[in-house]
Chains A and B, each alone.
Chain A
Amino acid sequence: MNRRIFLLSVGGGPLACTLGRERRLNVYNWENYVASSTIPNFEREFQCRVRYATYGSAEEILAKVMSGNSGWDVVFPSNSFVRPMRELALLERLDHQRLTNLDQLEARFRAPKWDPLLEWCVPYMHSATGILYSKSVSRTPLAWADLWTDSYQRRVTMLDDSAEVFGACLKRMGCSINSGDPAELKRARDMAVRQKPLLRAYLSEEVRDQVIAGDVLVAQMWAQVAQVAMDNAANLAFSFPTEGFALYADNCCILRESKHKDLAYEFLNYLLRPQVAAAIAMEMRTATANAGARQLLPEAQRRDIVLYPTAETLARGEWFEALPGRVQRIRDRYWTEIKAA
């Protein structure tokens, strides 16, 4: 099979289209976002072949689909990427007639801030940024401010991500995580520089194993990753900082360039089925945006307050937004200063 694909790809796209009688769908998703049975079941039910691949960063996919000739049909951008992709005319306007399962979405995802009418995307999974910590610490980190104290013997990490570090600093100052105000950003930078000597490292997912092993006691972390760590070590807990925290969601979108739009609609609608979404959430331990699916989850998972924070907690959350170029530039400059300090 692979040799055939190789020959086809060398022979070029058009050839591949004429030879491939079978219906095809090309899906580009984050890792761990479908269950092992999701794709095979879809292929069987809809008599097609799905080419499913995963990517590691949102920028990678944006750079690739920007040409409008990437070959992908369905992609899963984060909420802050939906508006940019829409403005670059990369997304297909969704026909709600063909998404009969749309009403399964949780109420807050039926009119999300980044696409209030769900014209371009269907929310898929969601998570938040908080603090993963070991219960053995003397001072429970309930607020971002705790990460600026000397109570954890330099066994603290922040995410290696400028938006997240600025987000924590800005929240601590009582500002918006999406702030573009130069004065506020400057204060946030100074705050991050002050914190740096107290940190062991800036690490993203890689820190998970070190928290489990006990090297790192406190880590700024995404709820989904934290959940996996907590499943593996009983002495870990997660808090949503009192000053407020960042929320994010990944969404299914159909690309405007797609040559398989009918099948793409079927796929989106299929993912919205409560049974399908529930199987994914159960196997992958992710937080689904599908209310119908959540009802099908086992009691313990449904009530998991790390994956599904209470309304009261969520009130403190704030969605990441696409930032204008001017702000990105200031932030990048300050981020370099923090790193070089």
Chain B
Amino acid sequence: MCSGESKTNYQFPGTKVGRLRAVFVAPSATVMAVLFFAPLLIIVAYSLLSRGPYGGVMHPWTPENYRRVFDPLYGQVLWRSIWIAGAATALCLILGFPLALYIARAKRHRTLLLNLVMLPFWTSFLIRIYAWMFLLRDTGLINTALQELHVISQPLPLLFNTGAVILGLVYGYLPFTVLPLYATLEKLDPELLDAAEDLGASPWSALWRVTVPLSRSGIIAGCLLVFIPCVGAYLTPDLMGGGKTVMAGNLVQNQFTTARDWPFGAAASLVLMLLVLAIMQILRRRSEELL
């Protein structure tokens, strides 16, 4: 949670430590208790009840829903989701890091450049996905342009495959990496890099040895903010993937909508949440200092 023991134990000299802290934590703790934990308890209860005839839940209590979750079919779905989400996260990082670095190092207009990253996201996600579908389809802009230029004779299959799903996810979550990365990179002292270069480090090794390690908390925060929603994504696989693959998000979504099996949906999502938490826990151990 804190970066190293020295900070964890850091205390204000001569003041009553904790009074302010308790006051600061209180509103968030209240919000979480009322608006997250109480509803979550309802979901836990749902997961142990039986399916109502038309959605909703009814008695009796049963562990049956959890038994159904552990099924090789759903394991396969989950594995696929983790894989796709992992690929999207990696790509977001590769694309987002240089961008965040560029913005953080820009001499002027830093806030403007940052806002420009967020700006497209004030257009509805659905509308932007439709625009991507238009760009990528057989008669879309990219294929038409390439055909006009005689680069290709047959349209490339750009849409409705795993690649398109990953592209959609990267597009949808890129700012979620750029923002936390920017927040840490902006704070880095440029003199550190100058010092590294003075000591003979090439710009690349200075980047790799100094900038990256020092922005680790931003990198991890960015990864989490992308990976987690990607695992639960359902619209992107449906539209960009043409509904030919199913991800964990689709599975859960279906239980609450078309299948109208709320208890199973609740059980499946609780298991999914625990799994993602476990993955995060491993990441936290690895990095030793994550949040």
- Residue from B73, B254, B257 in contact with A337 in the complex, judged by beta carbons closer than 8 Å: B73
Q: B120 contacts the other chain (Cβ, under 8 Å)?
A: no
Mask: chain A, 35-60; 1 = CB below 8 Å from B; 0 = not = 00000000000000000000001011
CB–CB B243/A201 < 8 A: yes
Per DSSP, are chain A's interface residues mostly helix, strand or loop, or mixed? Answer: helix
Contact among A59, A66, A157, A333 for B257, CB-based, below 8 A: A59
Q: Could you tell me which residues of chain A, from 58 to 115, have a CB within 8 Å of some CB in chain B?
A: 59-60, 62-63, 66, 84-85, 87-88
Closest to A332 in B: B259
Bound CA span A200–B244, Å = 9
Distance of A8 Cα from B258 Cα, bound (Å): 34
User: B-facing mask of A145-164, CB < 8 A → 1, else 0?
Assistant: 00000000000010011110
Taken together as a complex, chains A and B put the C-alpha atoms of A63 and B262 apart, in Å, by 11
Contact with A along B39-56 (1 / 0, CB 8 A): 000000000000101111
Q: Is the CB of A332 within 8 A of B243?
A: no
Is the beta-carbon distance between B259 and A199 smaller than 8 angstroms? no
Q: How far is the CA of A335 from the CA of B255 in the complex (A)?
A: 12
Query: With a CB–CB cut-off of 8 A, which chain A residues contact B73?
Result: 333, 336-337, 340
- Which of A19-27, A117-125, A251-259, A323-331 makes up part of the contact surface? A323-331
Tell me if A1 counts as interface (CB < 8 A to partner B).
no
Closest B residue to A155 by beta carbon equals B138
A214 contact set on B, CB distance < 8 A: 139
The size of the chain A interface, using a CB distance under 8 A, is 40
- Expressed in whole angstroms, the Cα–Cα distance for A162 and B257 within the complex equals 11
Considering only residues 223-276 of chain B, those with a C-beta below 8 Å from chain A are 238-239, 241-246, 250-251, 254-261, 264
Nearest-CB residue, chain B, relative to A339: B246
- Assembly CA distance A215 to B156 (angstroms): 12
B53 touches A215 (CB 8 A): no
B77 contacts chain A at the CB level, 8 A cutoff? yes
Interface assignment of A196: CB less than 8 Å from any CB of chain B: yes
Q: A322-B54, A325-B51, A325-B261 are in contact. Are A199 and B133 (CB under 8 A)?
A: no
The residue that B56 contacts in the complex, of A66, A203, A215, A335, with Cβ under 8 A, is A66
With A213-B139, A336-B251, A340-B73 in contact, do A203 and B242 touch (Cβ < 8 Å)? yes
Sample (14) of A-B pairs whose CB atoms are under 8 Å apart? A59-B55, A66-B55, A161-B258, A201-B242, A203-B239, A210-B133, A213-B137, A213-B139, A214-B139, A328-B260, A332-B254, A332-B258, A332-B261, A340-B80
Starting from the known contacts A160-B238, A206-B239, A335-B254, 11 additional A-B residue pairs (CB-CB under 8 Å) come to A161-B258, A163-B258, A199-B244, A202-B243, A206-B130, A210-B137, A328-B260, A329-B51, A339-B246, A340-B73, A340-B246
9 pairs of A and B residues whose beta carbons are closest in the complex? A201-B242, A202-B243, A332-B259, A339-B246, A84-B54, A160-B243, A59-B257, A215-B138, A213-B139
